A and B are shown apart, each in its own frame.
Chain A
Amino acid sequence: MRWVLLGIATAAAIVVVQMGPRGAVSDRRPLMFITDMDFQPRYNPQAATPFFADGRTMRTPPAGTIPFGGADYDSDAGSPRQNPDFLKSDDAYYRGKAGTAWLARNALPVDIALLRRGQERYNIHCAPCHGATGAGNGVMTQYGMLGVASITDELHTLMPDGQFFDVISNGKGRMMPYAPQVKVRDRWAIIAYIRALMRSQSTTLGDVPEDQRGNLNP
């Protein structure tokens, strides 16, 4: 009898020592006792499959094809909006071009909503390198990021909006293309906000409404 009890106690002790208390931090794959239909034979986003040669469940459209029905790639994949310009023939909006020259002004009407959106997106995608004011002194420059442009200097003030769009979309120098990260509309919003940043760098006290002057931090 003693041996039976001892055997069971040893087995239980091994399990407890191996597993630890539940929820303990571990790099072991979670044990699932009852999987029900947790793992179904279907393709999940960004998952792997041996079926396709490149091992991905997500397919890219063959080169030269366009989305059938003109669904907008920029909209939610689950509920695609229709994009009447699905061929992206609008050079000004999709490439920042006016004929062969750069588009001088923003392709979108600039209002406070666009500026706020631009501010939000600028702080997410641009500020890590270019800094919150665009002076080229973002946090990454302390970690060895080289050649970050001050985008509010005079050179950039003279740059047409279309060229900004091109740099954001296709990169320049060490800056990688941000087209995969920032949608077309957001790129225009960011450009509108960059213009506001430029303006903010050359202001005088006279530009501040009188009733707001008390809020300034010297």
Chain B
Amino acid sequence: MPLVFTHEADRRLRRLVIGVVLSAALGLAGLYYYGPPEYTRVGYAPKQPVPFSHEQHTGRLGISCLYCHTGVEESSVAKIPPTQTCMNCHQTIKPDSPQLAVVRESFASGKPVPWVRVHQVPDYVFFDHSAHVRRGVGCVSCHGKVNEMPVVVHEKPLSMGWCLDCHRQPEACLRPPSEATNFAWQPPAGRSNSDYGRLLKDQSRIHPPEQCSGCHR
């Protein structure tokens, strides 16, 4: 019987099949490695229009988070401060710094500084800052040690699985609400974080929602 396909055609077909299968496998592996929500935004540290350093302002100067993020205790959003908050100090301190040109321009024109958003949950998640901060989840639990970040880095996953870890066992993330903005807070001597957290949880009757409608509407 004569050959229907030449040896060359046979080789090409084999190459094609192996190539396609291998590419698909590697592609899938890549998707599984880079794709999951736990890693989508982690490590994101965008360049901001103004090189504002949280390390300088809250770490070294000791300005409270609440000086600028005034909404965090009473509203769902922490609030990016208005330019006037910057000018409270910077009309006197470093008033001519070229790094602050964008801030001065914004203050003069009334147009907002185009800050780049770092931490973001999907639009179908209705996260409320006040609900967490007022019950004693510290800033550091979700945002990391911002007081040591010259450039803010998205440090925690902020994925649903990660949220649920804490919603199921809130003990480890709880502290007295008055210490919410304190990055250096430690539980009282001789008590572990979860041990003390359990006390706070019982005291304030904290039962974080685990049903879908807790965060999704």
Contact = CB atoms under 8 A, between A and B. Distances in A.
Interface string B58-86: 00011110110010001111011110110
A46 B80 contact: yes
A40 B130 contact: no
Contacts of A48: 114
A184 interface: no
A180 B84 contact: yes
Contacts of B44: 26-30
A77 interface: yes
A1 B15 contact: yes
B34 interface: yes
B-side interface mostly: loop
A176 B84 contact: yes
B61 A139 contact: yes
A144 B34 contact: no
18 contacts: A7-B19, A12-B30, A22-B39, A27-B46, A31-B34, A33-B34, A34-B35, A38-B122, A44-B123, A48-B114, A54-B111, A56-B112, A76-B130, A124-B67, A140-B93, A145-B89, A176-B84, A181-B85
Given A22-B34, A140-B61, A145-B92, A180 B153 contact: no
A160 interface: no
B67 A38 contact: no
Contact of A174 (B31, B77, B92): B92
Given A180-B84, A180-B85, A4 B40 contact: no
Given A12-B26, A128-B63, A37 B122 contact: yes
Contacts of B35: 33-34
Interface in A44-83: 44-46, 48, 54-56, 75-78
B187 interface: no
Interface string B7-44: 00001001100110011001000110111000111111
Interface residues of B, number: 56
Contacts of A163: none
A25 B67 CA distance: 28
A69 B43 CA distance: 46
B172 interface: no
A19 interface: yes
Contacts of A147: 92
A123 B64 contact: yes
A56 B88 CA distance: 23
A140 to B, nearest CB: 6
The 3 A-B residue pairs with the shortest CB-CB distance, nearest first, are A38-B122, A40-B123, A23-B42
Given A45-B77, A76-B74, A174-B92, A23 B31 contact: no
Contacts of A1: 11, 14-15, 18
B43 A25 contact: yes
Nearest to B39: A22
B61 A23 contact: no
A36 interface: yes
Contacts of A120: 178
A39 to B, nearest CB: 6
A26 B43 CA distance: 6
A208 to B, nearest CB: 25
Contacts of A176: 84, 87-88, 91
A139 B64 CA distance: 12
Contacts of A30: 40-41, 44
A4 B15 contact: yes
Nearest to B30: A15
Given A30-B41, A145-B92, A174-B91, A124 B64 contact: yes
Interface string A125-155: 1001100000000011001111100000000
B5 interface: no
